[in-house]
Amino acid sequence: MVESMTLEEKIGQMTWTHVYGSSAHDTSMAASNQARYGVDTPAEVVQKYNLGGVLYFAWSGNTNNPEQIAGLSNSLQDAALAEEGPGIPLAVTIDQEGGLVARVGPPATQLPGNMALGATFDTDLAQAQGEILGAELQAMGVNVNFAPVVDLNSNPDNPVIGIRSMGEDTDAVSELGAAQINGMQQYIGATAKHFPGHGDTETDSHYGLPVVTYDRATLDDHLQPFQAAIDAGVDMIMTAHIIVEAIDPNLPGTLSPDVLTGLLRQEMGFDGIITTDALDMAAMTDHWSQSEMSVMAIQAGSDILLNSPDVDASIAGVQEAVANGAISEERIDESVTRILEWKAERGVLEDPYTDPGAVDSIVGNADHLNTAATIANRSITLLRNEDRALPLDVDSDTVLVVGAGSAWPERLGPMLADRGFDVIEEYDNGSSPSPAYRERAVAAASGADAVVFTSYNASSNAAQQQMVAALAATGTPVIVVAARNPYDINVFADADAVLNSYGYNVVNYGAVVRAIAGDINPSGALPVDVPTVDGSQTLLPIGYGRHYPGPPDHAGPPEHSGAPDHAGPPDHAGPDN
């Protein structure tokens, strides 16, 4: 097949990008397609560039609901196989990590997220999560998931990974990642990301170029989960737009032959597909032109050019590089062969279509929802419980619900009320509570038996710290629910109880409600070390987690330990890749 393809068709197979619209011939987002690609519809984008793959996002109109997604997938395959198309079925891809990064909302199963999974330390649940993602995406016509994240989140100040990671423990992340891959690849291709490890950065590569300076021994820890993924047979590995000085002090992994060919291919033995992270991220566009980055990525060893900001310039640059000998056509053939062999092995060449009639029975089914709730239940981590502040008594306790707006306390309050608590609600927008909001909350605390405060990365937020201190000074017990990164306890010495939920979606908060009500006994354990606020020592180690000493008299009936009502992630959930 490769021998009969033109160079332009080969480069097209290596080009995977997003399209705007909810169906192949949708013109409602024609202005966006015109601005980026010079054509009107998703089908025309596929056919103009002979695309090898497409990438779905919510903001590009691709993921309105499962039935629509299945229809889009099938109609794009029609476009690829039409006379005007490449004649080769598409890789249909998405970032559906679960938790913070989830492009498909309900009724698809909303998972608690990777760090919640990490707090369970349970490989059976990890495999089940992979199976849910694989089965539901396959039903929607997606054949590649850019997941799981296997980065070790060893830097509490990491702005882009955080709870997208399964933790900091090398062995645990390796085992959980391999289990997710095994589950997912029963259905579709999985992708381990972001190689060689994005977990110890202080810069978000969406906005800048991170540099990590640790030595090779530390790098080897970050590489172990990728080696476990390779040993598990992962189909793809996604690169990181970061400079790892221990391997290449000059170029980011995406563009470095030392990283992609020397380390990943030769040293670690990976023979699957390498894809770049999205090439429209600032870590790339601030330093290289589109043609430069595309040529350099292929020279480095990548097979896929993902989400190029200027596909025309990308293709022209690669064509010129082949013409002048900077890239041999044999090198192009290697990648195209690898892509086509993957499509054959995954059954994409034989039958790329999905059955729309199967969507309802698979996507968001009761078994999947119950598994998601189980992961959430098992993840809740009790870090402090002074004077047995928890659990509360549903029959008698009045609860004031407040917190950082970015942690969505307005989601948690009604859920506590639905469970039977008398709830006082005081909410405000933003991650930093205003003095006026703090005063309102302090005044309302006098009418409550307990305060539930939802925090959001409070270790670096003085306003949240001040609000919790002011609430604690009222004498009303304060329960902090750390809804984002797991380190907030290091600034909340005055809180009576601290629970980590590792997310603020309904599935996470459903488990929080059950823990507060005593329907479940918290059993999660920290998947990361929590440092003191100055970073000089460890406050709480990996594996730390407390439990209620026994079921309280007012613990709820068994039916309250099940799956919550379903709802999706907030609109602001998650970066691109």
Contact 33, 39 (CB under 8 A): yes
Residue range 511-569, pLDDT digits in tens:
999 999 999 999 999 999 999 999 999 999 999 999 999 654 433 434 555 544 333 33
pLDDT per position as a tens digit, 357-368: 999 999 999 999
Closest CA to 528 of 163, 122, 149: 163
Q: Are 173 and 223 in contact (CB under 8 A)?
A: no
Specify whether domain 380-561 bears CATH 3.40.50.1700.
yes
Contacts of 541 (CB under 8 A, 6+ apart): 526, 529, 530
Query: Is 222 a catalytic site residue?
Result: no
At 346, which helix (H) or strand (E)? none
The structure tokens 């691109």 sit at 576
Q: How far is Cα of residue 19 from the mean position of the Cα atoms in its chain?
A: 21
CA 484 to chain centre: 13
pLDDT for 5-44, tens place per residue? 999 999 999 999 999 999 999 999 999 999 999 999 999 9
CB 55 within 8 A of CB 142: no
Using pLDDT thresholds of 50, 70 and 90, give the confidence band for residue 201: confident
What H or E segment, with its residue span, contains residue 240?
none
Under DSSP, the state recorded for 263 is I
Cα(13)–Cα(444) distance, integer angstroms:
61
Helix, coil or strand: residue 18: strand
Mean pLDDT of the chain: 94
| In the predicted structure, residue 143 carries a pLDDT above the cut 60 | yes
In 3-state terms, what secondary structure has residue 98? strand
How sure is the predictor about 576, in pLDDT bands with cuts at 50, 70 and 90? very low
Confidence of residue 262 (pLDDT cuts 50, 70, 90): very high
Q: Please report the pLDDT score of residue 573 as a whole number.
A: 33
What is the per-residue pLDDT across 133-142, written as a single tens digit (0 to 9) for each? 999 999 999 9
pLDDT in tens, 39-63: 999 999 999 999 999 999 999 999 9
Distance, CA of 69 to CA of 238 (rounded, Å): 24
Q: Distance between CA 81 and CA 44 in Å, rounded? A: 12
- Please tell me the predicted confidence (pLDDT) of residue 568: 36
The pLDDT of residue 231 is 98
419 Cβ neighbours under 8 A, 6+ residues apart: 394, 513, 514, 517, 556, 560
Q: Degrees (nearest 5) of the Cα angle 169, 174, 178?
A: 150
Pick 12-366's CATH classification: 3.50.50.60, 3.60.15.10, 3.20.20.300, 3.10.20.90. Answer: 3.20.20.300
Catalytic residue, candidates 151, 200, 277, 397: 277
Question: How many angstroms separate the Cα of 365 from the Cα of each of 110, 126, 179, 371?
Answer: 11, 18, 21, 10
The H or E element spanning position 101 is strand 101-102
Sign of CA dihedral 267, 269, 271, 274: negative
| The predicted structure's pLDDT at residue 559 | 52
- The catalytically annotated residue of 157, 206, 449, 576 is 206
**Averaged pLDDT for residues 191-205:** 89
Q: Where are the domains of the chain?
A: 12-366, 380-561
Q: pTM for the whole thing?
A: 0.94
Q: Summarize the confidence of residues 432-438 as an average pLDDT.
A: 97
User: Is 566 a catalytic site residue?
Assistant: no
Q: How many CB atoms are located within 10 Å of the residue 312 CB?
A: 15
Model confidence at 292: pLDDT above 90:
yes
pLDDT at 199: 85
